[in-house]
């Protein structure tokens, strides 16, 4: 059942999961039902079937049944929740100057988070090594064993081949092209792993937060400019090669001979990214004391109404607005979300982008379109990573894998 890494990798080798069991688990994880009677009522399954499946999940340590604290007269009701041994999810959002990492339980609640100070241009082994080390440290701090990680998801700031599990010709990321990031992570955590583009994860994080507000287009304005698109059915659109949303290299409407990292001139990334704005203002991106110096300094200058900073920000807003107006034509989203450090600079960016999009795009496409900055701030990609992970953990394969694990491991403390 297990390969040399210690976890079951081949779905074909896993036992089939009864539909009833999956339904029972779904209802408990979503919080829709917390007792056997409620599960039977909501699922329409026979009480004996529910009992059988609950017993199976409790015996495997995935669910636990505890007595409710507030007891009415007579026997206190028994409540079903995910067991502490059910496992955890480890996620990271790798960015140009540092990476955010977090541990969550299987309901998606963040248990602990931290930052790994490592630049993406240090190369995949250094970055993934530092990220893994921080994650293992967080697991230890929260008292969760490294052997109970069910899924690892890492966002990367460049095009990602989702199927192969690696970055593909990313800009400014030496050594990452084709590097087997997923293999590195699954070996380190002995669990299935996924890598995805960071803007895709941001879009998913925002879409999960505001359910029903899809299709959703999220644009990350950071070192580069990337877009993520979530369809009305909640699926991330990745394109044929994972390059969908790599919009920073579209030629800026304003035209310019600014040289881009890709070798072309006039890319919107070279004019309107956070990095480009810092360069225009002569602000160093990072210093020895503060790896995020540029971010902090720009916030300070904009807050003080420094005219040069405000002007640079408005110019960037116009360029980004032109780009988004075009994307609105292509995708017709219900919601447009601006993320990344430039989006955290208050209303100048947002109002500039809105002005251009509402002026340029057709009334039909903008009639019910809302344009906002991210609701989740710098954590939105982590939330998207958690959402992607829980989908996999509670897929038929994920559940089968969990059950197979628990048959072979003696559940601890139960």
Smallest CA-to-CA distance from 248 within 209, 229, 274, 279 is with 274
Binding-site member from 150, 220, 238, 249 for Zn ion (CB under 5 A): 249
CB atoms within 10 A of CB 181: 24
Residue span binding Zn ion (CB under 5 A) among the ranges 18-26, 56-64, 261-269, 303-311: 261-269
Q: Which is nearer to Zn ion, 134 or 269 (CB)?
A: 269
At its nearest, how many Å lie between Zn ion and the CB of residue 173? Answer: 14
| Residue 275 binding Zn ion, by CB under 5 A | no
Residue span binding Zn ion (CB under 5 A) among the ranges 24-32, 263-271, 343-351, 354-362: 263-271
* Site track for Zn ion across 368-397, x = CB under 5 A: ------------------------------
Binding-site member from 39, 40, 225, 260 for Zn ion (CB under 5 A): 260
Q: Which is nearer to Zn ion, 9 or 256 (CB)?
A: 256
Tell me 377's DSSP state. G
At its nearest, how many Å lie between Zn ion and the CB of residue 169? Answer: 12
Task: Give the count of residues interacting with Zn ion (CB under 5 A).
Answer: 5
Whole-angstrom distance, CA of residue 239 vs CA of residue 230: 12
Terminal alpha carbon distance of the chain: 23
Residue span binding Zn ion (CB under 5 A) among the ranges 213-221, 267-275, 301-309, 382-390: 267-275
* Site track for Zn ion across 174-203, x = CB under 5 A: ------------------------------
At its nearest, how many Å lie between Zn ion and the CB of residue 258? Answer: 10
CB 149 within 8 Å of CB 401: no
Whole-angstrom distance, CA of residue 332 vs CA of residue 336: 10
Whole-angstrom distance, CA of residue 192 vs CA of residue 7: 8
At its nearest, how many Å lie between Zn ion and the CB of residue 154? Answer: 24
Radius of gyration of the chain (CA): 23
Half-sphere exposure of 299 (CA within 13 A, CB side): 9
Question: Residue 69 in 3-state DSSP?
Answer: coil
Question: Residue 107 in 3-state DSSP?
Answer: coil
Q: Which is nearer to Zn ion, 249 or 275 (CB)?
A: 249
| Token pair of 86 as six digits | 């059910």
Give pairs for 292-295: CB < 8 Å, separation 24+: 292/97, 292/98, 295/341
Q: Which is nearer to Zn ion, 260 or 389 (CB)?
A: 260
Residue span binding Zn ion (CB under 5 A) among the ranges 61-69, 75-83, 215-223, 245-253: 245-253
φ and ψ at 176, to 5 degrees?
-85, -25
Residue span binding Zn ion (CB under 5 A) among the ranges 8-16, 77-85, 232-240, 252-260: 252-260
At its nearest, how many Å lie between Zn ion and the CB of residue 81? Answer: 49
| Token pair of 95 as six digits | 């960015």
φ and ψ at 228, to 5 degrees?
-125, 140
Cα 271 from chain centre: 27
3-state helix, strand, coil in the chain (%, to 5): 45, 20, 35
At its nearest, how many Å lie between Zn ion and the CB of residue 266? Answer: 8
At its nearest, how many Å lie between Zn ion and the CB of residue 149? Answer: 37
CB atoms within 10 A of CB 378: 19
Residues from 324 through 363 that contact Zn ion (CB under 5 A) = none
Binding-site member from 57, 156, 166, 267 for Zn ion (CB under 5 A): 267
Q: Which is nearer to Zn ion, 25 or 260 (CB)?
A: 260
Residue span binding Zn ion (CB under 5 A) among the ranges 14-22, 79-87, 246-254, 367-375: 246-254
Binding-site member from 111, 115, 262, 326 for Zn ion (CB under 5 A): 262
Residue 374 neighbours by CB under 8 Å, 6+ apart: 202, 206, 218, 337, 338, 339, 343, 380
Residue span binding Zn ion (CB under 5 A) among the ranges 37-45, 102-110, 112-120, 257-265: 257-265
Q: Which is nearer to Zn ion, 82 or 267 (CB)?
A: 267
Whole-angstrom distance, CA of residue 362 vs CA of residue 359: 8
Residues within the interface to Zn ion (CB under 5 A): 249, 260, 262, 264, 267
């Amino acid at each position: 059942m297990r390969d040399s890494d210690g976890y079951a990798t081949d779905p074909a080798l896993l036992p089939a999961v009864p539909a009833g069991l999956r339904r029972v688990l779904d209802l408990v994880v979503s919080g829709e039902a917390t007792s056997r009677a409620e599960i039977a009522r909501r699922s329409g399954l026979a009480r004996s079937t529910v009992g059988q499946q609950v017993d199976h999940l409790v015996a495997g340590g995935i669910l636990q049944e505890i007595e409710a604290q507030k007891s009415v007269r007579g026997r206190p009701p028994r409540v079903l929740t995910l067991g502490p041994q059910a496992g955890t999810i480890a996620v990271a959002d790798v960015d140009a100057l540092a990476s955010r990492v977090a541990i969550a339980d299987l309901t998606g609640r963040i248990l602990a988070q931290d930052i790994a100070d490592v630049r993406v241009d240090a190369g995949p082994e250094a970055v993934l090594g530092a990220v893994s080390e921080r994650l293992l440290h967080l697991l230890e701090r929260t008292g969760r064993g490294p052997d109970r990680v069910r899924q690892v998801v890492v966002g990367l700031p460049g095009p990602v081949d989702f199927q192969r599990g690696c970055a593909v010709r990313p800009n400014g990321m030496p050594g990452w092209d084709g590097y087997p990031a997923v293999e590195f992570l699954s070996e380190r955590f002995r669990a299935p792993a996924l890598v995805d583009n960071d803007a895709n994860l941001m879009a998913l994080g925002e879409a999960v937060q505001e359910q029903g507000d899809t299709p959703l287009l999220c644009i990350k304005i950071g070192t580069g400019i990337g877009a993520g698109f979530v369809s009305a059915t909640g699926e991330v659109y990745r394109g044929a090669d994972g390059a969908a949303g790599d919009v920073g290299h579209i030629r800026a409407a304003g035209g310019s001979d600014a040289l881009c990292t890709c070798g072309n001139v006039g890319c919107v990334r070279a004019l309107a990214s956070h990095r480009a704005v810092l360069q225009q203002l002569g602000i160093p991106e990072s210093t020895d004391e503060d790896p995020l110096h540029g971010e902090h300094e720009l916030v300070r200058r904009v807050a003080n109404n420094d005219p040069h900073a405000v002007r640079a920000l408005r110019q960037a807003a116009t360029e980004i607005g032109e780009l988004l107006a075009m994307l609105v034509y292509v995708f017709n989203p219900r919601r447009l979300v601006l993320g990344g450090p430039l989006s955290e600079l208050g209303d100048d960016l947002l109002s500039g982008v809105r002005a251009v999009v509402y002026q340029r795009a057709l009334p039909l496409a903008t009639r019910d379109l809302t344009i906002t900055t991210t609701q989740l701030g710098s954590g939105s990609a982590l939330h998207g990573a958690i959402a992607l992970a829980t989908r996999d953990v509670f897929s038929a394969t994920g559940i089968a894998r969990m059950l197979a694990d628990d048959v072979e491991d003696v559940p601890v403390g139960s």
